[in-house]
Amino acid sequence: MRYYPDKMTPEQARTFGKDVLNIVCQIPRGKVTTYGHIAAWAGWPSHSRMVGRTLRYSPGAESLPCHRVVNIAGRTAPGWSRQRTLLEEEGVTFKPNGHVDMSKHLWEPEINGV
């Protein structure tokens, strides 16, 4: 995976956002992944926060399964309680502490299209 040590140019930021959305739409039903993983797969390992921003503010994100993205601990997005409901409807199980059971539902990407 490519990694640019320098800061993003506006063009790279655009590509990053596009890649993020493209990755999110590939998360299988009943699975979840994390901000950090998506950032890494998009080629910018240290940009997990930007993944969250992209999903929250990108207009097209609502038509994607962005509810299948949680943080590394399996915690759902703050201020979006419905996310848990959406996941449970897909069969995602939660632990007693309210976090997604990552050991069962974490989706690892297939490099180069499976």
Question: Residue 103 contacts by C-beta under 8 Å, 6 or more apart in sequence?
Answer: none
CB of 86 to DNA, least distance (A): 10
CB of 61 to DNA, least distance (A): 6
Nearer to DNA, 23 or 69 (CB): 69
Of 38, 46, 96, nearest in space to 68 by CA = 38
CB of 114 to DNA, least distance (A): 23
Owner of token pair 């097209």: 60
Nearer to DNA, 55 or 92 (CB): 55
Footprint of DNA on this chain (CB under 7 A)? 7-8, 10, 13, 34-37, 46-53, 55-57, 61, 66-67, 69, 71-73, 77-80, 83, 95, 97-99
Nearer to DNA, 96 or 113 (CB): 96
Number of helical H runs and strand E runs in the chain: 5, 2
Nearer to DNA, 63 or 112 (CB): 63
Cα–Cα distances in Å, from 39 out to 20, 35, 82, 96, 108? Answer: 7, 6, 24, 28, 13
Tokens of 80: 């979006």
CB of 33 to DNA, least distance (A): 9
